[in-house]
Amino acid sequence: MMPLVESLLRLLVWLLLAPLLPGLINQVKAWVAGRRGPPALQLYYDLARLWRKGVVLSHLASPGFLAGPAVGWVAITGAALLLPLGPGGGGVSFRGDVLLFVYLLAVARFCTAWAALETGSAFEGMGAAREVSFAVLAEVALITAILTLSVQSGSVTLATMLAPAAGAGAVLLAAGLFAVLLAENCRVPFDDPNTHLELTMIHEVMVLDHSGPPLAVVLHGAAMKLMIFAVLLVQAVLPIGTLSPVVAAGWLAGGVLGVTLGVGLVESLLARFAFRRVPLLLTTAFLLCLFALLLAWKGGGA
């Protein structure tokens, strides 16, 4: 009984709190720009509105067009359940679950790209190509960061990896993971979520032809992915797993809020990089994680 309630609670936290983050980011951007901006709960209203609408389907597209968002959402929810929320650990936890975590995120990305290619439009194809080629570099950085955590804690279970404090390379790891967060969630400087020019889009253009409930599913999945990365970043750096539940929850919430604030500030202060410079930035993120890994491996000495 208790485990069931716990799992339900965990699911609700992820599902209900995730759409808050993009709203907060927009609020930060509006504040920096001196505007009022959309309310923080805007994404909830958007999801509700989209759910009531009908779907526009192309008769050229296969069922994969609808299956893509659905499977992707399920994959992201699965990855979210794997991620520990403080000392409580993950919804499901077993040895090697970090690999499943990475692969679930990859499946979600695959499904989005598949659904984009289903439309047969040149714009979506272009977006899918860009997204996937940048994802190669971003995944390298992510995997290196995970390796660092693994070497530090000596295990491949997410709960054990994220529990203790970060080692000597905490700053480097945080910087690398933040860059990966920005890349994976299509934020400036990798991709501008507010652009209306299709040729400059990466992620937005992939979901250009979705409408109604599938679009709601896609947006919700993106919000959950952002929350996943934020939670991962906060737990990688802070020793949340060692605190008492209440204090841990507070620190976790504060950390996620801090990351959201950071993303908002970065979006306001930087411009999107030219596409040919993105590999350089991702390589830098990879090198930051690599140096964190070396520091963890050599035990902080030279």
Partner 1 sequence: MSGATVNLLVGVAMGLNLLALASSRVPSIIRAVAVQGMVLGLIPLLMETHFDWLVATVAVVTMAVKGFLIPALLGRAMRSAHIDREIEPFIGYVPSLLLGAAGTIAAVAGARALPLLPEHTGTLFVPGALASLLTGFVLLIGRAKAISQVCGYLILENGIYLFGLLLINSTPLLVESGILLDLTVGVFVIGIIVDRIQRAFDSLDTRKLTVLRE
Q: What is the binding site for partner 1 (CB under 8 A)?
A: 279-280, 283-284, 287, 290-291, 294, 298, 301-302
DSSP H helices, the chain, are: 2-17, 20-33, 42-52, 64-82, 97-118, 122-153, 158-162, 170-184, 203-206, 212-237, 245-269, 278-298
Residue 17 or 143: the one with the smaller Cβ distance to partner 1 is 143
Residue 44 or 273: the one with the smaller Cβ distance to partner 1 is 273
| Nearest C-alpha neighbor of 161 from the set 182, 146, 140, 141 | 146
Q: How far apart are CA 154 and CA 98, in angstroms?
A: 13
| Nearest C-alpha neighbor of 262 from the set 43, 13, 29 | 29
Residue 197 or 302: the one with the smaller Cβ distance to partner 1 is 302
Contact in structure between 285 and 179 (CB atoms under 8 Å): yes
| Nearest C-alpha neighbor of 193 from the set 145, 235, 236, 225 | 225
CB of 79 to partner 1, least distance (A): 30
Residue 258 or 299: the one with the smaller Cβ distance to partner 1 is 299
Amino acid at 265: L
Residue 243 or 294: the one with the smaller Cβ distance to partner 1 is 294
Residue found under tokens 């970065």: 266
Residue 57 or 287: the one with the smaller Cβ distance to partner 1 is 287
CB of 177 to partner 1, least distance (A): 17
CB of 285 to partner 1, least distance (A): 11
CB of 287 to partner 1, least distance (A): 5
CB of 137 to partner 1, least distance (A): 10
Q: How far apart are CA 85 and CA 240, in angstroms?
A: 9
Is the backbone peptide bond immediately before 239 cis, with ω within 30 degrees of 0? no
CB of 197 to partner 1, least distance (A): 25
Q: How far apart are CA 235 and CA 241, in angstroms?
A: 8
CB of 302 to partner 1, least distance (A): 5
Residue 211 or 283: the one with the smaller Cβ distance to partner 1 is 283
